[in-house]
Amino acid sequence: MKIAENTINRLIVYKKELNRLATDGLSNVYSHKLAHLSGFPSHLVRRDLMNVGYNGSPAHGYNVTELEKCIADFLCTPESVRVILVGVGNLGRAILDYCQQQNPKISIVAAFDKDKNKVNKVYHSIYTFHIDSVKNYIKENNIDVAIITVPAAEAQEIASALVESGIKGIVNFTPVRLQVPAEVYIENLDMMLGLEKVVYFVNGD
């Protein structure tokens, strides 16, 4: 069954909130509470959970840990995912740091840059290689996902190289709309776009 992208977004949010509830020691939760925590209406929560195929109880709602696991299974979250990052600028280094504090299942295993002053250095405990070695690295280590944080002018060239080496998904932090084959999944995380959207909704209507 095909699931809408928005549904996936929400499921990821539910999963995170469930995880937090679990660490808080709660064992069950009602759709209303999950709705309140995640910011979506409760009937959407229930509808989304229909998709993952987990059944709650009318009396106790959902079992927190079971539902979390069920969503994780549904999202096919593998036990560990290895990701690379290209572009060790301010933003790239911040992401190297940030990622380690979050989901331990997803880890950045290598960074790449063209600047010789950065190559062979370690940032936030991630080793930086020269960009020329990225193709080999991807192939030898079977990497599927890359994060791009290079300057806008280099983004397309880098993306093409990554795709050529077999990358299947890219988190794109540059403002450039990357041109890649349809089977490569691109998640654009343009911070400026986010800011502009907020400005629109605050100003306009």
Partner DNA sequence: TTTGAGTTGTGAAAATTATCACAATGTGAG
Partner DNA sequence: CTCACATTGTGATAATTTTCACAACTCAAA
Q: Which of 60, 98, 133, 157 is in the footprint of its own copies by CB under 8 A?
A: 98
Of these, 13, 19, 36, 56, which contacts DNA (CB under 7 A)? 56
> What residues contact residue 17 under an 8 Å CB cut-off, 6+ apart?
34, 37, 38
Question: Of DNA, its own copies, none, which one sits near residue 22, judging by CB under 5 to 8 A according to partner kind?
Answer: none
Q: Between 7 and 100, name the residue whose CB sits nearer to DNA.
A: 7
CB burial readout 8-33, b (16+ within 10 A) else e? eebbebbbbbbbebeeeeeebbebeb
Nearer to DNA, 9 or 136 (CB): 9
d(CA 27, CA 66): 9
User: Is 149:133 a contact under the CB 8 Å cutoff?
Assistant: no
Residues that bind its own copies (CB under 8 A): 5, 8-9, 12-13, 16-17, 36-39, 75-78, 81, 83, 89-91, 93-95, 97-99, 102-103, 106, 144-145, 147, 168-171, 175, 177, 179, 185-187, 189, 191-204
Residues that bind DNA (CB under 7 A): 2, 4-7, 30-32, 41-44, 46-47, 49-50, 54-62
